[in-house]
Structure 1
Amino acid sequence: MASYVIGDIQGCFDEFMGLISLIEFNPILDKVYLVGDLVNRGPRSLDVLRYVYANRESFKMVLGNHDLHLLACWAGTSKPKSLDTFNDVLHGAEANELMSWLRKQPLVLELPECLIVHAGINPSLSWHNNLELAMFCSEKLAADDFYFWLSNMYGSSPTKWADGMEEVARFRFGINTFTRMRMLDGCDLDMKFKGTIESAPDNLRPWFNQLVNLPKPVMFGHWSALGLVVNEKVVALDTGCIWGGQLTAICLDSGCLFQYPALVGARGGDE
């Protein structure tokens, strides 16, 4: 029996299956946690969703920005972009079943060993308040009026937490924190920069550099330019499979890393 966390798959189904084989995944005994962005830019998003959904007793996931974009396109509150590769999901016979399941997945998973999130948690908020905000956003996405919330998801403001925010502003701030954040300008979210830390403007700092007194490590993806990072504070698992890198898993029991190389070169696009 073992538990694993796997980085951004983004429709790279063949590499996903290669990594599943490499870790010798047993769906009866093992648990796999996914850091979000199961879909988009890779060629087989539908197959990824089908596999995870079919094995949903063994797989748990958090939502990433590409998963949310897919949901918005399915709901009709947004339109696919030129680089999107999930038309097979939108037009498939299982679309409603898969999307109804997907929108009910959480933004944050807290395990005894770690916290799992797609992009990060906000250092302006306490650990408890981050979890509370994530639950608030997840409840909105799972509610009957999810169309309203998906239609109000996009936008880069507010950039800073403030007590007494209206619900729509709080929802958007939470979505941006948990699924889009990489850098902070002081306490403000920066939604533009996505390069390496070394190439960042002087006013920007990685969100995780400002975290203090964490009760457990935060495991996340989303930031392929950051690459693999493993320390006592964070574990970054987006190793750019979609860009010709690797798909990465870490075993929560042993700390061992597993990587399966991309089978083709870069297939990605913006974010």
Structure 2
Amino acid sequence: MTQWAIGDLQGCHEEFVRLLERLDFKPECDELWLAGDLVNRGPGSLECLRHVKALGDSVRVVLGNHDLHLLAVAEGYGRLKRSDTLMPILDAPDRDELLDWLRRQPLMVTAMIGARRTVMSHAGVLPSWTLDQSVAFAREAETVLSGDHYRDFLGDMYGNTPDLWQEDLSGMDRLRCIVNVFTRMRFIDQDGRMDFAAKEGLGSAPEGYRPWFQYPRPEGAWDDSPRLLFGHWAALEGKTPAARQDAEALDTGCVWGGGLTALNLETGERVFEPAVNA
């Protein structure tokens, strides 16, 4: 079995198909990890969603901010933006089946690959969180999203506050902060406070802020020193300069004219499929 991790698809279905062909991916024996944002901005959002769902147990998906945006808009919350390409999903005859499957996907996955633990979320994990805390916080939000009252969360999901994690957060503030860490975080300050305005490269960091992966984890917080896979940040072009955590950036901006990157989780080999219109 070969295990591959791929960054944000964002509706780039043609490139996704070409990359799987290049990898000689076989669903019956290989495994695919997808770092979220399956949909939006690219022309094939519906096709991506259908394709990934059809892969069944051979794929592990985490939710990204664009996936959550789709779920919220589908329930009448939030508004479609001019650049969104979600209407084909919202108008599809299998829309309800696709959306029900999507909202039941996790925010974080973790597994032992060989002798090493690998963790994946869309945007990253706060450096101050232990592995056990990260798993528990992800499960808190996932339980709500997959439960009977998920509409209540989607209706109150949008927002930049609270921007600082505190253990005593409760209710929607707690859930929103957890989801923002896993799906929207880029720059944080030394206290872990998140900035949501800066979205470009490292040079766009506000004063006093750095990428989350440039802060060390507390000693003993992650006992087996796992690697952390993430997408979300196309401006990094798959690189994590000056990282003080073992972090692998997977989003190489296919929807922006870059391409899709697949990482072999055993060998570290990277395979790149350029965007059709690059």
Task: Indicate the TM-score class for this superposition, using the shorter chain for normalisation.
Answer: over 0.9
Asked if the contact 2:71/2:99 (under 8 Å) is kept, the reply is: yes
Paired position in structure 2 for 1:268? none
Q: Which residue of 1 aligns with 2:66?
A: 66
Q: Work out which of the residue numbers 193, 200, 217 in structure 1 matches 2:198.
A: 193
> Which stretch shifts more, 94-103 or 74-83?
74-83
Report the equivalent of 1:255.
Answer: 268
What is the CA–CA distance in structure 2 between the aligned matches of 1:62 and 1:14, rounded to whole Å? 21
- Displacement over 3 Å in runs of 4+: none
Count of residues paired in the alignment: 265
* Cα distance change of structure 1 residues 162 and 199 upon mapping to structure 2, 3 Å threshold: closer
Paired with 2:124 and 2:3, the residues of 1 have a C-alpha distance of 21
> Aligned with 1:264: secondary structure?
coil
> Are the counterparts in 2 of residues 120 and 179 from structure 1 also a CA contact under 8 Å?
yes
Structure 1 residue 211, shift from structure 2 partner: 3.1
Partner of 1:15, secondary structure, is helix
**2:208 equivalent to 1:206:** no
Residue 220 (1) aligns with residue 230 (2)? yes
The answer to whether structure 1 residue 244 and structure 2 residue 248 are counterparts is no
Distance in 2 separating the partners of 1:42 and 1:195: 19
CA contact (8 A) 1:124 1:161 kept: no
Q: Distance in 1 between matches of 2:177 and 2:27?
A: 36
Task: Give the 3-state SS of the residue equivalent to 2:213 in structure 1.
Answer: helix
SS in 1 for 2:263: strand
Residue 127 of structure 1 deviates from its aligned partner by 2.1
Moved more, 215-224 or 74-83: 74-83
> TM-score under structure 1 normalisation?
0.94
Please report how far the alpha carbon of residue 198 of structure 1 lies from its aligned counterpart in structure 2 after TM superposition. Answer: 2.9
Displacement of 1:253 in angstroms is 1.7
Matching of residues 1-271 of structure 1 within 5 Å: 1-112=1-112, 113-186=117-190, 187-212=192-217, 213=219, 214=222, 215-229=225-239, 233-265=246-278
Kindly state the Cα deviation for residue 128 of structure 1 after the two structures are TM-superposed: 1.4
Per the TM alignment, residue 86 of structure 1 is displaced from its structure 2 partner at its CA by: 1.1
Q: Which amino acid in structure 1 is aligned with residue 54 of structure 2? A: A
Paired residue type of 2:189: D
Query: 8 Å contact 2:108–2:121 — kept in the other structure?
Result: yes
On the 8 A contact 1:77/1:150 being kept in 2, the answer is yes
Give the secondary-structure state (helix, strand or coil) at the position aligned to 2:159. Answer: coil
Check the 8 A contact 1:9/1:39 in 2, yes or no: yes
Does the 8 Å CA contact 1:13/1:45 hold for their aligned counterparts? yes
- For residues 211-236 of structure 1, give each alpha carbon's deviation from its aligned partner in whole angstroms, at most 9, with x where no partner exists: 32542010000001111126771000
Contact 2:10 2:39 in 1 (8 A): yes
1:66 Cα deviation (Å)?
0.3
How many Å apart are 1:163 and its aligned residue?
Answer: 2.2
How many angstroms apart in 2 are the aligned matches of 1:162 and 1:48? 36
8 Å contact from structure 1 (residues 3, 30) kept in 2: yes
Conserved? CA contact 1:77–1:147, under 8 Å: no
TM-aligned CA deviation for residue 260 of structure 1:
0.1
* Aligned mates of 1:162, 1:73 — CA distance in 2: 29
Deviations 1:67-106 (A, max 9, x none): 0000001111222111100100001001000000000000
5+ residue gaps, structure 2, are none
**Unaligned ranges ≥5, structure 1:** 266-271
1:269 matched to which residue of 2? none
